[in-house]
Amino acid sequence: MEPRMTPALLLLLSTALLAEVKSSVVVCHITAYDLKMDEALLTIHNLLPQDIIVYYVSDYCYKCLYQPLITLGPKTGNHSSNASVAIRTRFTLTLRVIRETGNTSLCSWDQLYGEAGHYSTWVQEESGSVTCTQSIDKAPINSYIPLLVGAVVLGALALLYVLGSYLHRQPCTQKYINLFCCKNVQHSVNCDTTTNDNGANHTKAKSSRLKSLDTFRGFSLTLMVFVNYGGGGYWFFGHAPWNGLTIADFVMPWFVFIIGTSVALAFSSMLRRGVSRTQLLRKLTWRTVVLFLIGVFFMNYGPRDGPLSWSWARIPGVLQRLGFTYFVLALMETCCAKKDISGNEGRWWNPVKDIVLYWPEWLFIILLEILWLSFTFLMPVPNCPAGYVGPGGIGEEGQFPNCTGGAAGYIDRWLLGENHVYSNPTCKELYRTTVPFDPEGVLGTANSIVMGFLGMQAGKILLFYRKRTGSILKRFLLWALLLGILSAILSKCTRDEGFIPVNKNLWSLSYITCMGWSSFILLGAMYFIIDVKGWWGGQPFIFPGMNSIFVYVGHSLLGTYFPFNWDLQFQESHAAQLFQDLLGTALWVLIAYFLYRHKFFLKI
C-alpha cells in the first residue's frame, strides 16, 4: 500500500525542497487517490521572476493570523514554478500571495473549494500589476448526495411504517390479523381486548408515563450515537470549532433539559407515594456516584487508549457532568418539592404558582448564574485579559495563544492539572491551540445546572397544569419566546460579535438560553403530537429513550468493534462513512427495541 501524504507532511517536504533548490522548477505530484474526505487539490503556478509565499486563513476562524500554505521559487525561462497542496473544503478560505523579499502582498482571493476538485491559480504580471487567475482542472463532486440519499431512504422507511400502521388499524386488515392471532375466529375478537362473563370489553390500562419525554430522550440519544460515530464525516455533525452551533451541539443540552424534567416529575411522584426525603437523598447520592464512576473508568477510555494511567487520566466527562447536574437538581427537589400542589386556587400568584412555590430554587439558580458571570468576566487569569472567552491559539491575531477558554480553562488546569483535562478540544485544529481545554469542565457545569433547571420548569408546568393542555402549551411557548429573545440579545444574532457568544465549549449563558428555547419547542411539539393527539407513538425513538443508560454506555464501549465499526476501503468517501454510522446507529435502535419487547430496562 502506498503511504499517504498528509497536508502538513507535504508542506514540510515542499518547503525543504524549495529551500535547497530555489532556482529549479519544483513539482509536487498529488493524485486524486491522495485526497481524503473534505479535501481538494490546489496547484499554484508562479510566473513571476521572484519567490512567493502563499498564506491562507479560514473564514470560520475569527480574527485569525494567516498561516503559510506553500512556498514557490521564481519561474525558469518560460516555465512556471508550480507546486500542489491538499486543502480543506469545509469552510471558505482566504488566500494571499506574498513576495518573499519585502513581504509585499501581491494578490488575494476568497473561495469555497469543492471536495475532490482540482484547482489551479496562476500568479503572473499583467500590465504592470500582479494578478491571480483561478481555473478548475477537475470539477468537484457533490459531497451531499450520500446525505440526500440517506435522508430519502430513512424517509421512505418512515413512510412505510406509517402506511403499515394505518393499514393495521383498518377493519378489513384486522379481520385477517384476528384470523391468525386469535383463537375465536368466528366472532372476530380483537387480540388486545378481553371479555368478561358479562360480555364487557376491557382494554389494557393506559400508562401514565409521559411518552413524549421518552421520545425526546430517545431522539436526543439516537442523534448522539450518530454524531459520536462520526456523523458521516460531515462537519456540521461534529461540534463547532469554538463559537457558533452545529447539529451535534444540541444533543447534550437536550439531555440535561430532559434530566431536569424527569427529576421534577419523578420526585413529585415519589413524594406523593410516601417516599421520605431521606430515602430520596440516598437514592440521588447513589445514582450520582455510579454515573461518576462509569464516566471516569469506562467512558473516558477505550481499548485504543491502552492501560489506564493516573498520570494522564481525564477526570471530567459527559457522564460526570450529567451525574453532578442530576445531583444538584435532585437535591433541590428533595428540599423544595411539594407533596401536594393543589389548594392554592384563588391566590394572586396562582397564574405563576409553578414559579412562586419554588422561590428557593430560583434564588439558588440566580446566585449560581451570577457566580458564573463573575468568574467568567471578572476573574484575573495570568497573561490573559479579563473577560477573555476566546479560543486562544492564532485567534485574536495571535495575541493570547495560551488563553484558551479564559477563566474556564484556567480553573480546570489549576484545579485538575493539565494532564487531567481534555487534550484535544474542538478548537485545536482550526485555531492551532496548544493548551488543553475541557468542554465538560468545572465552570461550565454551573450553566449545565441552569439548563437542567429550565427542564425542571417544564416538568413543573406539566405537574401544575396536567389537565389543561392549552395552558401547558401556552407556557411552553412563552418560555421558548422569552429564551429566544434573550439569546438574540446576548448574541446580537451573530456568531462572534455578541455580548456573550453562543459557545458549547464554555456552556455560555447565550448557549443555555438558545438550547432552552429549542428544548421547550421540541418537547411541546412532541407532547402535543404524542400525548395529546396520539398521532404518533414515538417509534422508534421511544425504545432507546426508555433504555438510555444501556444504549449510551453500550455504544461508547462497543463503538470500535464490528458490526458498529470496521476499516473503510474508501476513506475519501462520505458515502462509506455515512453508511457505517447510520448502520451502527440503527443497530442500537434495534437493540433497544429488542430489550423493550423483553421488558428489560437498565436503571441505576
pLDDT digits (tens, 9 = 90+) for 421-434: 998 999 999 999 99
Q: Is the domain covering 7-138 a CATH 2.60.40 domain? A: yes
Confidence of residue 602 (pLDDT cuts 50, 70, 90): confident
H-type alpha helices, 118-170: 145-169
**Rounded average pLDDT over 461-490:** 93
pLDDT of residue 515: 97
pLDDT of residue 207: 53
Active site residue 239: yes
Confidence of residue 178 (pLDDT cuts 50, 70, 90): low
Is 481's pLDDT higher than 60?
yes
SS3 433: coil
Angle between helices 574-597 and 211-228 (to 10 degrees): 140
Q: How far apart are CA 538 and CA 209, in angstroms?
A: 13
**Rounded average pLDDT over 333-353:** 71
Exactly one of 118, 239, 555, 574 is catalytic; name it.
239
Q: How far apart are CA 35 and CA 115, in angstroms?
A: 9
pLDDT of residue 448: 96
Confidence of residue 18 (pLDDT cuts 50, 70, 90): very low
Question: What's the mean pLDDT when you consider all of the chain?
Answer: 84
β partners of residue 42:
85, 119
Q: How far apart are CA 457 and CA 476, in angstroms?
A: 9
Closest CA to 603 of 302, 283, 298: 283
Is 528's pLDDT higher than 50?
yes
| Alpha carbon of residue 301 to chain centroid | 20
**Rounded average pLDDT over 400-421:** 93
β partners of residue 133:
122
What residues does CATH 2.60.40 cover in the chain?
7-138
Confidence of residue 204 (pLDDT cuts 50, 70, 90): very low
Tens digits of per-residue pLDDT, 490-518? 999 999 999 999 999 999 999 999 999 99
Is 50's pLDDT higher than 70?
yes
Closest CA to 583 of 145, 232, 157: 232
**Rounded average pLDDT over 556-584:** 86
Q: How far apart are CA 355 and CA 268, in angstroms?
A: 15
Closest CA to 439 of 240, 218, 219, 177: 240
| Alpha carbon of residue 115 to chain centroid | 23
Q: How many CA atoms lie within 13 A of 587 on its CB side?
A: 16
**Rounded average pLDDT over 107-114:** 92
Cβ proximity of 305 and 283 under 8 Å: no
SS3 103: coil
Cβ proximity of 203 and 192 under 8 Å: yes
Q: What is the pTM of this model?
A: 0.86
Closest CA to 261 of 214, 207, 316, 199: 214
**Cell numbers linked to 332:** 433541590
pLDDT of residue 293: 87
pLDDT of residue 188: 36
Cβ partners under 8 Å of residue 493, min gap 6: none
Cβ proximity of 517 and 250 under 8 Å: no
| Alpha carbon of residue 547 to chain centroid | 20
Is 564's pLDDT higher than 90?
no
Maximum Cα interatomic distance, the chain, rounded to a whole number of Å: 106
Cβ proximity of 527 and 471 under 8 Å: no
- The residue with greater pLDDT, 350 or 474, is 474
pLDDT of residue 76: 83
Cβ partners under 8 Å of residue 561, min gap 6: none
**Rounded average pLDDT over 73-88:** 87
Is 23's pLDDT higher than 50?
no
